[in-house]
Amino acid sequence: MLKERMVIDDAKNKLQIQEYLMKLLKNENCSQVDVRRTPLGTRIVIYTTTPGLIIGSKGSGINKIKDVLKEKFGLENPQIDIQKIQNPLLDSKFVAKRLADLLEKGYNYKKLGNVYAQKIMSAGALGCEIIFAGKLSGEKARRERFKKGYLIKSGHPAEVFVSKASAEAIPKLGIINVTVSIIVNHPEHEVREKLDKIINGEKPAEKPVEEKANEPKKDEKENAKDDAKVEESKGSESKSAPSAEANGPKEENDDKKV
């Protein structure tokens, strides 16, 4: 029981740290906070699109976060690691949080769903789905879905390849839950495209055969043979030319003798 209690307390502490830092860094485009226990202390990884705002001038922002964690949660040696999100539109947690913030500012959910679904696809995703659930435009709660591209719904591939996250917005009408699902890469996608083309009567594009680097192409071989023949003919002409010149004076001398 003592070990179970320690595990539960540790999980609660991690969750409290994550929630507190997400609220503290709400305006710094923070997507996720990961808390890890290490032998040297507690390592906290913060994922954001603007790491400079969190770090501050000469690390002043990180020092403030460390002081707050020591006072509020009793962490002895907190280690802060700031990671930059390279492509935020492919991060489901960032997109969900962004949509929730925009809903609280009064933006229309239809416009947000259509625009961000197109942005996610333009960023390189295979497919995406955005779901708004709650009091969207009246007292009655309802659910609206915006989907584009190819998306897996269930099974082990959905757990492995689909990035899913949710966030809550609290506008004037009531709470709205935002769920974002994004799939970036899946090995079966190319196979499905080929099958769809075959079913529709289209021939799938054949991949060009990779040629060995050491073996020249047929055209190159023929060109090489032609070049060799041209060189041989040039050589024979050059050899015959001096012999003709050499024979020329002899004939002249013979004419003189006659």
Domain boundaries, the chain: 2-85, 89-199
Which secondary structure element, helix H or strand E, spans residue 30, and what is its range? Answer: strand 30-38
DSSP, collapsed to helix, strand or coil, labels residue 172 as: coil
CATH architecture, domain 2-85: 2-Layer Sandwich (3.30)
Pairing of strands 79-84, 41-48: parallel
pTM of the prediction?
Answer: 0.63
Strand-by-strand arrangement of the 142-149 sheet = 142-149, 127-134, 176-183, 162-169
Q: Which of 219, 145, 213 is nearest to 179 (CA)?
A: 145
CB atoms within 10 A of CB 171: 17
pLDDT digits (tens, 9 = 90+) for 31-80: 888 888 888 888 899 888 888 888 888 888 888 888 888 888 888 888 88
Contact 66, 74 (CB under 8 A): no
| CATH number attached to the domain at 89-199 | 3.30.1140.32
pLDDT digits (tens, 9 = 90+) for 129-150: 999 999 888 788 899 999 998 8
DSSP, collapsed to helix, strand or coil, labels residue 237 as: helix
Report whether pLDDT(113) > 90: yes
